[in-house]
Amino acid sequence: MKIAIVLGTRPEIIKMVSVIDEIILRGHELILIHTGQHYDHEMSDQFFEELELPTPNYNIGVGSSSHGKQTGKMMEGIEEILLKETPDILLVQGDTNAVLAGALVASKLHIPVGHVEAGLRSYDITMPEEVNRKAADVCSKYYFVPTEKSAINLSLEGISRKDIFITGNTVVDACFRNLEIAKKHIDDIENSSNPSNSFNPSNYSNSSNSSNNSTSPDSSKSSSFSNEILNLLKLDNIITLTMHRAENVDNKKRLTDIIDAIAELKDFNIVFPIHPRTKKTMENFGLYEDLSKLDNVHLIKPLGYLDFLLLMSKSLIIVTDSGGLQEEAITLDIPSLTLRYNTERPETVEMGGNILVGADKDFIVDSANKILNDKSFYDKMSLAPNPYGDGTAGKKILDIIEDSYEKGECRLDS
Ligand code: UD1
Ligand code: UDP
């Protein structure tokens, strides 16, 4: 079977790892199409190298621009590639512009679309991601949803239940596999007390990953843990902070309120791997320099996945507006404060691990201090089952696709 994947940003790369591994492991032909929406080394290439993903067959190189221009360029590029490659199915993941472009183009060419992480709804149509995920769901044939709640969202929109498959979220696959690798490496460093050893993840690969050897990039390029992150991991009371949503970082008042809250959290060490969008707007609004002067705030460049997983796992709290981080926090049993007023991940709030603090300065500060002084939060989280599954989503997705292909449903001419 010939399976094409369109991806373009950091979270899509991470969340497609287990699907790509399964495609290669099972001997299917993979056509990997990178739109080039994220292009900095820290936002794209470092993940291909560190997670041993095959180099994309195509990179459309769209770069940064307005939504219409960016999506239009993606569509043009994807159409040309799909016409040439004629895959049996196209997979997209999540809610970025790549998802919109890929799903729309493939459906018009009558190529079946599988939407990984389908069915999420924030019901906030001002978010570009809500538009993208809804439009992609109109164009899809297979809905790989993480939870029962997302399945219900789709049913309510008239999607037939037979096309909806509850698989869990592939982020759990990525999190489990790579945290194990990262922790093993830290143990090795502690045992050898030589932090400068370069780290080759293939030494710790599980069987599905090691089958990837024929397609994996040169493993000597694999990441090493920087001394910077090793030192940060020794700190107490860590908050991992990330943000990049347009509604927070492009709005001066909201961004200022959030930064003011961060500056008040003196009892914490705040580690902030900063998204390029956020760095640019903080600099433009004159917010970067003052924050960077605070001793307990560590502004660093975006981290590789292994470093970042370790950082999250050593954190007391995760403060974020990221979708993926809300899920990873739950998976690692770390409470999160989400810098939004709604979420398409309500499961995280319902199980008691996520508080929607918005951009409300006092609420952010009070919630962080409450968690610092109330350890029962962690006990509650560790007892609750993970709503996003057991880390086998990639396998389930491939089982479903193969089954459908056997039945002759997953073809251009079916
Ligand atoms: C995009 C996705 C968002 C996802 C996020 C993951 C859409 C509409 N948005 O948002 O859903 O959560 O990725 O991180 O698809 N930039 C760089 N270098 C890069 C990439 C971006 O400097 O490699 C800067 C550029 O100034 C750019 C800005 O960041 O204009 C925003 O990038 P863009 O890809 O448009 O949106 P994200 O905020 O990254
Ligand atoms: N991430 C990472 N390094 C970082 C910040 C995030 O590897 O410095 C990972 C994180 O673990 C998660 C994904 O990037 O898997 C989330 O990406 P982002 O927040 O950009 O996008 P979203 O999930 O909001 O779409």
CATH of the domain at 233: 3.40.50.2000
Co-location of 35 and 168 in the same domain: yes
Query: Does 371 share its domain with 400?
Result: no
Specify if 315 maps to a domain. yes
Same domain for 401 and 352? no
Q: Does residue 164 share a domain with residue 15?
A: yes
**Residue 29 C-alpha to ligand 2 middle, in angstroms?**
28
Specify if 338 maps to a domain.
yes
Question: How many angstroms separate the alpha carbon of residue 208 from the centre of ligand 1?
Answer: 31
242 alpha carbon – ligand 2 mean position (Å):
8
pLDDT in tens, 134-169: 999 999 999 999 999 999 999 999 999 999 999 999
| Predicted confidence band of residue 204 (pLDDT cuts 50, 70, 90) | very low
Residues 142 and 248 in one domain: no
Both tokens of 120, joined, read 């999420």
Sheet holding 336-338, edge to edge: 297-300, 269-273, 238-242, 317-320, 336-338, 354-356
Mutate to test the pocket of ligand 2, among 325, 332, 344 (most ligand atoms within 8 A of CB): 325
The answer on 252 and 128 residing in a single domain is no
Atom index in ligand 1 nearest the CA of residue 37 equals 34
Domain count, the chain: 2
Which ranges of 140-243 does DSSP label H, i.e. alpha helix? 148-156, 170-192, 207-210, 227-232
Do residues 378 and 401 both lie within one domain? no
Q: Is residue 179 part of a domain?
A: no
Give residues (CB < 6 A) around ligand 1. 9-11, 37-40, 43, 64, 95-97, 128-129, 244, 276-277, 280
Q: How far is CA 261 from CA 267, 339, 361, 362, in A?
A: 12, 11, 5, 7
Q: Decide if 339 contacts 326 (C-beta within 8 A).
A: no
In a domain, residue 181? The reply is no
Assigned domain for 268 exists: yes
- Whether the per-residue pLDDT at 280 is higher than 80: the answer is yes
ipTM for the complex shown:
0.99
> SS3 of 267, please?
coil
Strand order in the sheet with 2-7: 58-59, 29-34, 2-7, 89-93, 113-116, 142-145, 164-166
Q: Is residue 112 part of a domain?
A: yes
Residue 182 lies in a domain: no
**Is 251 found in the same domain as 138?**
no
- Percent of the chain whose predicted confidence (pLDDT) is above 90: 83
What are 250-257's contacts with CB under 8 Å, separation 24+?
250/281, 252/285, 254/359, 255/281, 255/282, 255/285, 255/287, 255/359, 256/285, 256/287, 257/359, 257/360, 257/361
Boundaries of domain holding 354: 226-383
The answer on 245 and 153 residing in a single domain is no
The CB of 242 under 6 Å from ligand 2? The reply is yes
**396 and 278 inside one domain:** no
Task: Note whether residue 205 is domain-resident.
Answer: no
| Average of per-residue pLDDT across 41-47 | 97
115 flagged as catalytic: no
Task: Judge if 123 and 230 occupy the same domain.
Answer: no
Q: Are residues 86 and 232 in the same domain?
A: no
CA–centroid distance for 257 within its chain: 26
Residues above pLDDT 70, as percent of the chain: 91
